Structures are given as C-alpha cells and as structure tokens.
Structure 1
Amino acid sequence: MKRVELYARVSTTDQTAENQLRTLHEHADRAGWTIVATYTDRL
C-alpha cells in the first residue's frame, strides 16, 4: 500500500484548505493510499 502526504495551499479568500483536502482525501481513498501526514499553507 502506498503511503502519501497531502498538501493544501490557499492564497485567496475564494479558496479553502478544507475543500482541497476533502478532494485529496477522496482521491487517496479511491486509490487505496494511506495518508500519513497533512500539511496546509495559508498565505
């Protein structure tokens, strides 16, 4: 099983890290990957 880290970067008020991470989590789940860390940058 592949182990992955997720990274979300938000630079405008129109974006949310939560939306990005939700999409990344869904993709990882479909691919059968294990999420080992999550990182977020808000600029």
Structure 2
Amino acid sequence: MSPTRMYFGAILILLSIIISETGWNLFKKEHLSRGKVDQM
C-alpha cells in the first residue's frame, strides 16, 4: 500500500466513525424523547 492510500483510508475510517457517532447520538436523542412522550 502506498502512503497516500493509507492516509486516504485513515481519513475515510475517521469520517465514517464521526458520521456514525453523530448520527447515532441524533437518533438516540429523537428516540429517547419520543419514548418519554409515549410513556406519559
């Protein structure tokens, strides 16, 4: 593997982790607030 490809791969992995983390947090917030409303 060439250094540029390793660098690109690392950026892709970091981006996917960041996107999944933020997406999961947003999903959890929405889901939790909905669940609280449903339980009332």
TM-score over 0.5 for the pair: no
TM tier relative to shorter chain: 0.3 to 0.5
TM-score, normalised relative to structure 1? 0.39
Q: Which has the higher helix share?
A: 2
Structure number, greater radius of gyration = 2
TM-score, normalised relative to structure 2? 0.42
Between 1 and 2, higher relative CO (CA 8 Å, sep ≥ 6) is seen in 1
